[in-house]
Amino acid sequence: MRDKDRQRRRMGNASSRQQAAQSETPTFFTQEELSKLKSDFETGGGENVKPLIRNKMKELDNAELNIAVTGETGTGKSTFINAMRGLCSEDEGAAAVGTTETTMEPTGYPHPNLPNFRYWDLPGIGSTRFTTGSYLKEMKFEKYNFFIIVSAGRFTENDAKLAKEIKRLGKKFYFVRSKIDNDLHSMRLKGGGGGESGEVEELEKIRSYCFSKLGKAGFPDPNMFLIRSYKENMYDFPRLMEALADSLPSIKESVFILALPNLSVEIIRKKGEVLKERIWMLAIISGGVGAIPVPGLSAACDMGILIGAIINFRECLCLDDAALRRLAERKGKSMEELKAAAGSPLLGDITQHLIVRRRLGAALVAVSTVEAGLYFVPFIGSLFGAGSSFLITCSILSNALKLLIESSEKVLAVTKRAH
């Protein structure tokens, strides 16, 4: 009798979790898409929903994001663009820093691992070639998701004119006051002193001044941020990144988050949440055509999907060799030191042998079929068998992602100490 009571309580708890999960729509899908997935799954199982899942994965992989960065020459646009891409000026593909602006055309800079995501360096509106009315048209305004208007001192009349035109056309924009540490340095030279409290007071003075000037220009509550691109964890840089992500629809927001440099534990964990949402989709696709029995896993899995997903997770978490090499150079360390700090075999070659040997699917033993089904596919529920390819794939990818997140956090800790 007690066993039956425990079973009823367990199923009751599972039902509560299912109701809670179902109340939260997975961010990659519309409610209409979810309804179709559920209907197709109930009538034909996993094979029925694979085409829909593949289309969604293709949409995620091909999602474009274009961010325009504009401002007058010398305001630090190139340095800002490089910082947002996790690059410094010496890296291959970096935007040139400290040069006189000669181009009158938008210049696109793709993210190192996400070629469909580009920052665009736009010439300043103050150029004699452009009028306010012609600027956005010639800059191909419609292609950008939003605009970042950068100033190294006061925001100019041209900045205000541009912002008003962007607002009139229904696009979002953000004011960024760069090189803020130059102001703090000037304060110290003038004998401002006061240590940390003096800097805080000076920052508030600058902030109040900027808000006042932008208010008089017609922006009473502007999205305005004080930053120094070489010090991404300081001032308003973290708040700026959060605001930019929040301004995007769900799929583009996920692309933006994955493109961020690993500046904090919070960013790394946000990346983990975005990647976790892809696991159940990959798991559904993993069984079926192309899947083969894998010794040691007791299920037919598509090993290509498993290996490809782990490599993708690694790149998104800035743990691939190219990202680690750039980071090592910036922090004055060797790539070997960073890999040693990460302490993960997943930073080497990803093979079937490694997946089986490291027992990445072993945690499945501790997870019930009901719980795993609810966790990964809240709108489908516990319709997969305990030995299914779906659950094995979920387990392997979840464990791999967990290990890579931990490695990324360890690398961050080491580079912060170096900094």
Q: State the pLDDT at residue 95.
A: 85
Claim to verify: residue 130 and residue 166 sit in the same structural domain: yes
- pTM confidence score: 0.81
Claim to verify: residue 284 and residue 210 sit in the same structural domain: no
Residue 311 has pLDDT above 70, yes or no: yes
Claim to verify: residue 345 and residue 407 sit in the same structural domain: yes
Helix or strand holding residue 252 (H, E): helix 250-259
239 domain-assigned: yes
The model's confidence at residue 374, banded by pLDDT at 50, 70 and 90, is: very low
Q: State the pLDDT at residue 98.
A: 64
Residue 75 has pLDDT above 80, yes or no: yes
Final residue of a structural domain among 214, 240, 259: 259
* Cβ pair 383, 419 in contact under 8 A: no
Claim to verify: residue 295 and residue 349 sit in the same structural domain: yes
User: CA 233, 346, 277, 269: dihedral to nearest 10 degrees?
Assistant: -20
Claim to verify: residue 112 and residue 253 sit in the same structural domain: yes
- Please, is 60 exposed, middle or buried when counting C-beta atoms within 10 Å of its C-beta (0-12, 13-18, 19+)? middle
CA distances from 228 to 32, 40, 151, 162, 402 (A): 43, 51, 11, 23, 32
- What is the per-residue pLDDT across 210-234, written as a single tens digit (0 to 9) for each? 899 999 999 999 999 988 766 666 7
Claim to verify: residue 68 and residue 170 sit in the same structural domain: yes
The number of domains in the chain is 2
Three-state SS at 175: strand
Claim to verify: residue 248 and residue 276 sit in the same structural domain: no
Q: State the pLDDT at residue 302.
A: 82
299 domain-assigned: yes
Residue 199 has pLDDT above 80, yes or no: no
Q: State the pLDDT at residue 25.
A: 39
Claim to verify: residue 266 and residue 236 sit in the same structural domain: no
Least confident stretch, 39-43, 115-119, 241-245, 302-306: 39-43
Residue with tokens 């960013």: 267
Residue 63 has pLDDT above 70, yes or no: yes
The model's confidence at residue 258, banded by pLDDT at 50, 70 and 90, is: very high
Pick from 74, 66, 136: nearest CA to 107 = 66
**CATH number for 160:** 3.40.50.300
In this prediction, residues 119-148 reach a mean pLDDT of 80
Q: State the pLDDT at residue 323.
A: 93
Least confident stretch, 70-74, 174-178, 322-326: 70-74
Least confident stretch, 45-59, 112-126, 286-300: 286-300
Ranges of H-type helices in 264-334: 265-286, 303-316, 321-331
Q: What percent of the chain has pLDDT over 70?
A: 74
Least confident stretch, 19-28, 197-206, 279-288: 19-28
Pairing of strands 146-151, 65-70: parallel
Claim to verify: residue 233 and residue 298 sit in the same structural domain: no
Q: State the pLDDT at residue 369.
A: 45
Final residue of a structural domain among 259, 283, 312: 259
86 domain-assigned: yes
Least confident stretch, 183-187, 274-278, 329-333: 183-187
58 domain-assigned: no
Let me know the angle formed at the C-alpha of 413 by 412 and 416, rounded to the nearest 5 degrees. 85
The model's confidence at residue 108, banded by pLDDT at 50, 70 and 90, is: very high
325 domain-assigned: yes
Cα 388–chain centre separation: 31
Final residue of a structural domain among 215, 238, 259: 259
Q: State the pLDDT at residue 10.
A: 38
Claim to verify: residue 148 and residue 28 sit in the same structural domain: no
The model's confidence at residue 152, banded by pLDDT at 50, 70 and 90, is: confident
Least confident stretch, 41-45, 192-196, 284-288: 192-196
Claim to verify: residue 24 and residue 71 sit in the same structural domain: no
Mean pLDDT, the chain, whole residue set: 79
The model's confidence at residue 100, banded by pLDDT at 50, 70 and 90, is: low
Concatenated DSSP letters of 17-70: HHHHHHTS--TTS-HHHHHHHHHHHHHH-HHHHHHHHHHHHHHHHH--EEEEEE
Domain containing 108 equals 64-259
59 domain-assigned: no
Residue 268 has pLDDT above 50, yes or no: yes
Claim to verify: residue 108 and residue 134 sit in the same structural domain: yes
